């Protein structure tokens, strides 16, 4: 049986940036419902679409389903086509392919869609083999419920295993979603980024602003709220020279912000960043990372400064 997916598999390679939707409905990490509300999310979604940012990344677990539900609602109220990427979470009690098919059906219901453009496995499963997970994705593709398939947080050997398992069924592995920013260059240093490029797997860069730290607004005196304050306290102190350089480079580029420099750097490295946002102004500013390029010398200088922090 030919299980090839009909959507142009390389569609992600034509996309420079997307929008992350973890913030949509998440109270614990992001304070949804305290500092921002549904109307803020709708406004920033609209701005992104207006700016041509049409790939939205969500997951069944974001806001316990709220993120997918909001996205489904916003899409229904929008004219231009939106590309939806969502994720299956391999909880340890999900031991069979059936579990993935059930979760996928629930995602489709929440999103109010017949098919998902990119369906990703959020993490490798502690109980299901990669072969088994990929078989389930192939079946979902054959059933027309997903147009392309991807993985997330897979290391090099896991990525190769997923790539080969899918290739045996003529289904390409479209993407690997990985943490990547000027504050975390692990995948660049351990060869995973290069290996993905070699295999034509699009690397989707998550937390490209290091969860807000690379915007420059947080300082040792002004730590981010919640978990991030604890998580990043030391890095925030260490990364101030990097932030200073980013700000300087932004000025040299005609008034770009540190956030725009951080996102443009991800693009220059051949990845597709998906910054999250809570307010319309954040999304508008992030959209300004497109339409220009850092020079090779600027990328090199940023690499050197980031090496001092990492
Ligand atoms: N696959 C995975 O395991 C995984 C893991 C994490 C994330 N993701 C995906 O990647 C997306 C992005 O990652 P992320 O949300 O962790 O972090 P991020 O994109 O690096 O940072 C987002 C946060 O930075 C702040 N921010 C964004 N733009 C700003 C601007 N222009 N000016 C000032 N502040 C700004 C906002 O928080 P404050 O205003 O509160 O500072 C926002 O919530 C997620 O939404 C999700 O879709 C995937």
Pick from 229, 230, 181, 233: nearest CA to 207: 181
Range of the domain at 85: 9-212+270-292
The answer to whether residue 62 is catalytic is: yes
The answer, yes or no, to whether residue 6 has pLDDT greater than 50, is no
* Greatest pairwise CA separation for the chain in angstroms: 61
- Say if CB 226 and CB 233 are below 8 A apart: no
Q: For the CA atoms of the chain, what is the radius of gyration?
A: 19
The answer, yes or no, to whether residue 67 has pLDDT greater than 70, is yes
Average pLDDT over residues 189-214: 98
Rounded to the nearest angstrom, the distance between the alpha carbon of 44 and the centre of ligand 1 is 13
In this prediction, residue 95 carries a pLDDT of: 95
Domain assignment present for residue 140? The answer is: yes
The answer, yes or no, to whether residue 3 has pLDDT greater than 80, is no
Name the pairing type of β-strands 173-179 and 146-152: parallel
User: What is the average pLDDT value for the chain, to the nearest integer?
Assistant: 96
The answer, yes or no, to whether residue 9 has pLDDT greater than 90, is no
CATH number reported for the structural domain that contains residue 43 in this entry: 3.20.20.100
Domain assignment present for residue 127? The answer is: yes
- Ligand 1 site, CB within 6 A: 20-23, 30, 57, 122, 152-153, 177, 206-212, 215, 217, 224, 259, 274-278, 282, 285-286
Domain assignment present for residue 92? The answer is: yes
Cα separations (Å) of 210 from 18, 51, 183, 206, 266? 16, 23, 6, 9, 12
Domain assignment present for residue 180? The answer is: yes
Domain assignment present for residue 104? The answer is: yes
Residue of 21, 215, 283 with the most ligand 1 atoms within 8 Å of its CB, for mutation:
215
Residue 225 CA: nearest ligand 1 atom is 40
Q: Cα–Cα distance between 263 and 181 in angstroms, integer? A: 8
If one counts the domains in the chain, the total is 1
64: left (phi over 0), alpha (psi -120 to 50) or beta: left
pLDDT in tens, 122-172: 999 999 999 999 999 999 999 999 999 999 999 999 999 999 999 999 999
Handedness of CA 156, 15, 264, 268 (dihedral sign): positive
Which pTM was predicted?
A: 0.97
Rounded to the nearest angstrom, the distance between the alpha carbon of 61 and the centre of ligand 1 is 16
Which residue shows structure tokens 């993935």? 100
pLDDT in tens, 167-190: 999 999 999 999 999 999 999 999
Domain assignment present for residue 234? The answer is: no
In this prediction, residue 13 carries a pLDDT of: 94
Cα separations (Å) of 228 from 17, 172, 224, 232, 271? 24, 36, 6, 6, 24
Domain assignment present for residue 166? The answer is: yes
Domain assignment present for residue 202? The answer is: yes
Q: Cα–Cα distance between 47 and 56 in angstroms, integer? A: 13
Q: pLDDT band for position 226 (50/70/90)?
A: confident
Cα separations (Å) of 232 from 151, 219, 228, 277? 26, 10, 6, 18
The answer, yes or no, to whether residue 249 has pLDDT greater than 50, is yes
Rounded to the nearest angstrom, the distance between the alpha carbon of 178 and the centre of ligand 1 is 13
Q: Cα–Cα distance between 54 and 99 in angstroms, integer? A: 29
Rounded to the nearest angstrom, the distance between the alpha carbon of 21 and the centre of ligand 1 is 8
Residue 278 gets which letter from DSSP?
S
């Amino acid at each position: 049986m030919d299980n090839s997916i009909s959507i142009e598999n390389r569609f992600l390679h034509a996309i420079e940036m997307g929008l992350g939707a973890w913030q949509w409905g998440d109270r614990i990490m992001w304070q949804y419902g305290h500092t921002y509300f549904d109307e803020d999310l709708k406004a920033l979604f609209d701005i992104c679409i207006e700016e041509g940012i049409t790939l939205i990344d969500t997951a069944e677990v974001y806001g316990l389903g709220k993120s997918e539900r909001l996205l489904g609602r916003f899409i229904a109220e929008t004219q231009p086509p939106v590309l939806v990427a969502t994720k299956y979470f391999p909880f340890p009690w999900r031991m069979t392919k059936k579990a993935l098919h059930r979760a996928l059906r629930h995602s489709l219901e929440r999103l109010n869609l017949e098919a998902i453009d990119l369906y990703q496995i959020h993490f490798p499963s502690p109980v299901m083999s990669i072969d088994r997970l990929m078989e389930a994705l192939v079946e979902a593709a054959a059933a027309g419920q997903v147009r392309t398939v991807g993985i997330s947080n897979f290391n090099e050997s896991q990525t190769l295993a997923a790539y080969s398992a899918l290739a045996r069924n003529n289904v390409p592995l479209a993407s690997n979603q990985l943490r990547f920013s000027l504050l975390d260059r692990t995948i660049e240093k351990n060869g995973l980024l290069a290996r993905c490029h070699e295999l034509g797997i699009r690397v989707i860069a998550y937390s490209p602003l290091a969860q807000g730290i690379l915007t420059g607004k947080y300082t040792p005196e002004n730590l981010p709220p919640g978990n991030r304050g604890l998580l990043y306290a030391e890095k925030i102190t260490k990364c101030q020279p990097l932030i200073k350089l980013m700000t300087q480079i932004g000025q040299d580029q005609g008034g770009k912000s540190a956030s725009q420099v951080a996102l443009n750097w991800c693009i220059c490295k051949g990845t597709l960043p998906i910054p999250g946002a809570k307010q319309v102004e954040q999304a508008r500013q992030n959209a300004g990372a497109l339409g220009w390029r850092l020079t090779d010398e600027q990328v090199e200088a940023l690499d050197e400064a980031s090496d001092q922090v990492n």
